[in-house]
Amino acid sequence: MSTRPRPLMGYPLRLFLAAYGAALLWLLPKLSLWLDEILDMMGSSRQLSGVIEWAAINPGGVPLGYLAHWASFQVLGMSAFSVRLPSAIASVAACAGIFVVGRRAGLRAPVLPVVVFALLPLQFRYALEGRPYAIALAISVWTIVVFDQILEQPGTGRLMLYGVLAVAGLYVQPYSVFILVAQGIWILVSQRDLLMKIASTQAAAVAVFIPWVLYAGAWSTPLSIVEGDQATGWRSLGLIAHEITGTKWNGWVFFGLKNHRVKA
């Protein structure tokens, strides 16, 4: 009796992703641009060399997110829709990655964590925001997928893909380094035979990122100067809670669309 391999995505997932993607596309131009999105558009609307320079003068700035928006502008022109489109695409890609994670974990209905993930307030906010966070999240999810595949069968191709994803994550959002740290600790504790392969791949990814840190002099600017006193200390806890729940943005989505439209 022959068996056919399971498709990567089942019909429930395809249906959900189609509906979710359509909802995101409809919502992208509906909400007003906020300050950080406008600044992102200003930096991404320049010539290609200017985009790199813009990323370099931002404290902690990295270029790949800006370049994604620049590419979107080249195809669709500059608008609220085009600056947010890369985030929407990344969110759908992250959902597909969550499905793969769930299936590899042996869940009977791996589409359920996809639904939960897609509707998380903070993730949903990122999916509709012209900022690089949804892109970084998608890369992180697929880094986890490839890392799990390496644990199962550590081939050269998978290690190279893992390294590419690690570099891409760092160049979209430097905090993605904590994903690599967590995976390094996992290897150290549970599967030391792969320690050298994973550690050398991670070290190579960091080595590729170091030239950008040396080039972008604004990285030396203290966080407190950039974000103000609320960036550090106990007063930041309220801001963190507000951002995690996506309170303001998701309130706009569900209750204030008519009052916050943007004419692209």
pLDDT tens string, the chain, 264 residues long: the values are 334 445 556 788 999 999 999 999 999 998 888 888 998 999 999 999 999 999 998 888 899 999 999 999 999 999 999 999 999 999 999 999 999 999 999 998 999 999 999 999 999 999 999 999 999 999 999 999 999 999 999 999 999 999 999 999 999 999 999 999 999 999 999 888 999 999 999 999 999 999 999 998 766 665 444 455 555 555 556 655 655 554 554 554 444 444 444 443
pTM of the model: 0.83
Of 12, 66, 10, whose CA–CA distance to 40 is shortest? Answer: 66
3-state class (DSSP) for residue 140: helix
How many residues does the structure list for the chain?
264
**What pLDDT is attached to residue 8?**
55
Let me know: does 31 contact 250? Beta carbons within 8 Å.
no
Of 181, 160, 239, 169, whose CA–CA distance to 209 is shortest? Answer: 169
Q: Residue 134 and residue 173: Cα distance in Å, rounded?
A: 10
Q: Can you give the residue ranges of every domain in the chain?
A: 11-154+248-259
Q: Phi/psi of residue 82, each to 5°? A: -70, -35
- DSSP codes, 9-34: S-HHHHHHHHHHHHHHHHHTTTSPP-
Q: Largest alpha-carbon pair distance within the chain? A: 68
Residue type (1 letter), 94: A
Which helix (H) or strand (E) segment holds residue 29: the answer is: none
Let me know: does 154 contact 197? Beta carbons within 8 Å.
yes
**What pLDDT is attached to residue 60?**
82
**What pLDDT is attached to residue 254?**
46
Let me know: does 64 contact 212? Beta carbons within 8 Å.
no
Residue type (1 letter), 246: G
For 129: left if phi > 0, alpha if psi spans -120 to 50, otherwise beta; the answer is beta
- What's the CA angle centered on 116, arms 122 and 179, to 5 degrees? 60
Q: How far apart are the first and last CA of the chain?
A: 57
Let me know: does 194 contact 150? Beta carbons within 8 Å.
yes
